[in-house]
Amino acid sequence: MPENNDNAALRRGIHVILVVVGFFGVWQLGVMVAKPPNYILPDPISITREIASAPLWYLGHAMRTMGATLAGFAVALLVGVLSAIGIVYSRVLENTLYTLLVALNSVPKIALAPLFIIWMGTGLVSKIAISFLIALFAIVVDTVLGLRSVDPDATDLFRVMRGNSLQSLLWLRMPNALPYLFAGSKVAISLALVGAIAGEFVASQAGLGYVILSAQGAFETTRVFAAIVLLGILGTILFFIVDLTERFVCPWHVSHRARDRGERGGV
Amino acid sequence: MTTHGQDVRALNAATAAEAGGPPQEKFLDIAGLEKIYPSREGGITALKNVDLKIGASEFVSLLGPSGCGKSTLLRCIAGLEQPTSGSIRLLHKEVTGPPEDMGMVFQRDVLLDWLTVARNILLPSKVRRLPAAQWMPKVKALLDLIGLAGYENRYPWELSGGMRQRVAICRALLLNPSLLLMDEPFGALDAMTRDELNLELQRLWLADAKTVLFVTHSISEAVFLSDRVIVMSRSPGRVVENVVVDLPRPRTLAMRETPEFSRYVSQIRRIFEGFGILRGSHARE
């Protein structure tokens, strides 16, 4: 069974690499055949050369964006989990905070980005704030769901053992909510990146969003694409950091998923 | 807790001295119990006029169709539900919340997926802030006894359904409670695993006779395990019969095919038939 899972994972990995390589291959061939102007569609080899010409410069900007994303995500994680606990345990917070969050979620949060620039300036803090705000909702909603979806028998078990509510929060509800928290985090980390870029688009002096915007002004399309490719890599890395943490923190859940997949695959 | 334990042992001895007669010592005394769930039409009566006396070290089954209130009765005894009226006294003390000296096994094993088998079994001691190191030998002994020696560091998701329920039983027994409540613990298991666990449970009980209250809807399981079967009926949930099972122990699976065993099973089946349950489709409205 574990051997099957390993094989399946390996096959999936090869699959992904083939598709990505194929995508860039077709792109390269297409550009070589159709020869569009460079400012419309550069080819992957030129984009790679562009990145290689100033790797440290690109790395600096990527780090800046990654920093804003991670900081925003971290604050969202902290505030989100604490809010979720409050919402689950307090009727008042559920009726006020949760209602407000759900209502505000219908406002596209990117629309708030200019406001944050006004309030907090064009530096890193405004990017972190936008990143935080856009990531928060997914974390709160999923954590609330996780804290609530405890088996009633398990709640009874803690009552029978005469455990207090802090014990049942720490030893039952929180671990039970972890898989939900990670599902929310995977969405939230991608959204946090969107938030950081949105902030950089509005006003900034650094970051991949700034690179894209300034290159666009100069019609340096190759540089725009270079930043986009780096953003894609950055997003993938951030997602896998969350995924790896999940494997480490709640292996029981990952194994459930693997088994479910195995069963579905077997039928 | 120590004095409590000695209390129980004294009671055990007293019951043993009675040899077969009805238990005089009231380990658990339920009188005039009534449970009404509020509803729009003024309330659903889940239990009505339940009187029940259970002696120390007795193995008693609560048997009945679904909706007869047997689980509600067990939950009232566990202190998980408040009765509407009547009283439950455990060792002369009124039950108002979960009693200290009690273990409970549920239909689902509710093992915590993120803890090892040993950590799961240690949970009751952890909740009471007792040192884990001191209880590890007990965990090993329980696992040995139930046929899971060497499984301490496995995780629940590595075990089969039957093994998981065994671990849940070990967890309920860790602090050596004098009362063990079991709410259809083998209901979700396949027939063979169920037989196997019935034998294990009997073995555990013979080795260390606790008072066991066992909820089931299987007549043969109730007869196989119990000293006494409390037969319940529904609408409203009430006790209709008290069947003393006088079969020698240890009981074997083959014993289920003997005429003595069958007599108990058909006696109980006839009680249900008398109440319009188990009579086939023609009897239904």
Contact A162 B100 (CB under 8 A): yes
Contact between A90 and A173 under an 8 Å Cβ cutoff? The reply is no
Q: Return the pLDDT at A199.
A: 93
pTM: 0.82
Task: Give the separation between CA A252 and CA A259, rounded to whole angstroms.
Answer: 11
Query: For B95-114, what is each residue's pLDDT tens digit?
Result: 999 999 999 999 999 999 99
Element at A90 (helix H, strand E):
none
Nearest CA in chain A to B114: A252
pLDDT of residue B6: 45
Q: What band does A1 get if pLDDT is binned at 50, 70 and 90?
A: very low
* Chain A CB contacts of B98 below 8 Å: 159-162
Please confirm whether the linkage preceding B236 is cis (ω < 30° from 0).
yes
Cβ distance B108 to A151 less than 8 Å, yes or no, reads: yes
CB contact under 8 A, B80 and A159: yes
CB of A114 less than 8 A from some CB of B: no
Confidence band for A4, pLDDT divided at 50, 70 and 90: low
pLDDT of residue B280: 64
- pLDDT for the residue A204: 87
Token representation of residue B257: 């095919």
Mean pLDDT of B208-213: 92
Task: Determine the Cα–Cα distance for residues B188 and B274; give it in Å rounded to an integer.
Answer: 28
B185 pLDDT more than 50 = yes
| CA angle, residues B227, B228, B229, in degrees to nearest 5 | 135
Q: How close is the nearest chain A Cα to the Cα of B206, in Å?
A: 25
pLDDT value at position B18? 44
Lay out the sheet containing B179-183: strands in order across. Answer: B102-105, B179-183, B211-216, B59-63, B228-233, B238-244
Q: Give the model's pLDDT for residue A215.
A: 94
Test A252 with B155 for CB contact under 8 angstroms: yes
pLDDT at B174 over 80: yes
Tell me which of A1, A159, A160 to substitute to probe the interface with B (most B C-beta atoms closer than 10 Å).
A160
Instruction: Give how far B110 is from chain A: nearest CA, Å.
Output: 6
Residue pLDDT, tens place only, A219-258: 999 999 999 999 999 999 999 999 999 988 988 887 666 6
CB contact (8 A) between residue B106 and residue A171? no
Nearest to B127 among A167, A250, A255 (CB): A167
Residue A87 has pLDDT above 90, yes or no: yes
pLDDT at A266 over 80: no
For chain A, the average pLDDT equals 90
Percent of chain A having pLDDT more than 90?
78
**What pLDDT shows up at residue A84?**
96
Task: State residue B137's pLDDT score.
Answer: 95
> Which structure tokens are listed for B51?
């009187």
A149 touches chain B (CB under 8 A): no
Write out chain B residues lying below 8 Å of A158, CB-based. Answer: 127
Cα gap A128→A197, rounded to integer Å? 10
Integer Cα distance of B193 and B190 in angstroms: 6
Taking an 8 Å cut-off on Cβ atoms, the answer to whether B108 and A167 are in contact is no
Cis omega (within 30 of 0) for bond into B250 = yes
Q: Establish, for the pair of chains A and B, how many residue pairs have beta carbons separated by less than 8 Å.
A: 60
Contact B127 A162 (CB under 8 A): yes
For chain B, what is the largest distance between any 2 Cα atoms, rounded to a whole number of angstroms?
Answer: 61
Q: Does B112 touch chain A (CB under 8 A)?
A: yes
Q: Has residue A189 got a pLDDT over 60?
A: yes
Residue A40's nearest CA partner among A173, A219, A186, A192 is A219
Position B148 pLDDT exceeds 70: yes
pLDDT tens, position by position, A25-49: 999 999 999 999 988 999 999 999 9
β-partners of residue B180 are: B103, B212
pLDDT score of A169: 93
The pLDDT of residue B10 is: 46
Instruction: State the average pLDDT over residues B74-103.
Output: 92
- Which residues are within 8 A (CB) of B171 and not within 5 positions of it... i.e. 6 or more apart? B103, B111, B120, B121, B123, B124
On chain B, the residues whose CB falls within 8 A of the CB of A156 are 75, 78, 80, 104, 106
A160 vs B104, B107, B128: nearest CB: B104
Interface contact B102, partner A, CB < 8 A: yes
